[in-house]
Amino acid sequence: MDERLKGKVAIVTGGSRGIGAAIAKGFAAAGGKVVISSRKEEGLKIQAEAINAEYPDAVQYKTCHMGDPEQISALFDFANDTFGIPSILVNNAATNPYFGPMLGISNGAWAKTFQVNLEGPFEAIRLLVGRLQEAKHPGSIINVSSIVGAGAAPLQGVYGMTKAAMISMTKTLAMELGGNDIRVNAIAPGLIDTKLSSIITSTPDLKRTFTDRTPLGRVGKPEELAGAAVFLASDESRYVTGQTLFVDGGYTIG
């Protein structure tokens, strides 16, 4: 029986489907308690029921728009009241409302991308750290970045900017929070079969630009991210901080 996260409470944003749902299930399988969030309740309810059917009482859910600081605060209050002080945060929720040449993005799409992909995660980190420091508890923060944050991101330029900033934020916060025994790491997925990436996975020519360069030669599955997240959340990685773990089928080695 996997008990690597026994006694630990995690918040996973964007947990109603895809990578977030897979990570939440991985945490539950490792004995953790998990609060998942997203904007819409229906998907959260379905996901929580599915995980709890296999791992009873492991998951609760609350709607939360990561662009709204008040909703983020309410999410942390809910997690605390439901399971206790959260010590693990997975900043997975993200948006990519514009796909095309970088200079063509509207001001509204630009603002939304930065608000959800950076401002929301930063606010969540600030809330988690405040609670951990007050309780003098260790913690683990996992920021879900992307391979497009590690280089040029044609047609996804602004999204790539936010993911690059997330890697930078990870490194700086790791240095600033290490003395409080709070670790900060990132996971950078390659092309994963999710709704967010569907415009690429459903377009053969675009899909091949990724798979032809990937040594494993295929698109990844959300569940293939779960093990990396469990490792970074658990005490197995207690001497790991400030790192970005690329789970990309080898895409970035070429």
Q: Is 159 an annotated catalytic residue?
A: yes
What strands, in cross-sheet order, belong to the sheet with 182-189?
59-63, 33-38, 9-13, 88-91, 139-144, 182-189, 244-247
Q: Look up residue 24 and give its amino acid.
A: A
Secondary structure of residue 166 in the 3-state scheme? helix
Which token pair is 232? 């970074």
Catalytic residue among 55, 159, 239, 251: 159
Secondary structure of residue 31 in the 3-state scheme? coil
Find out whether 96 and 160 touch, Cβ atoms under 8 Å.
Answer: no
Distance CA 88, CA 64 (A): 17
* DSSP of 197-222: THHHHTSHHHHHHHHTTSTT-S-B-G
Catalytic residues: 159
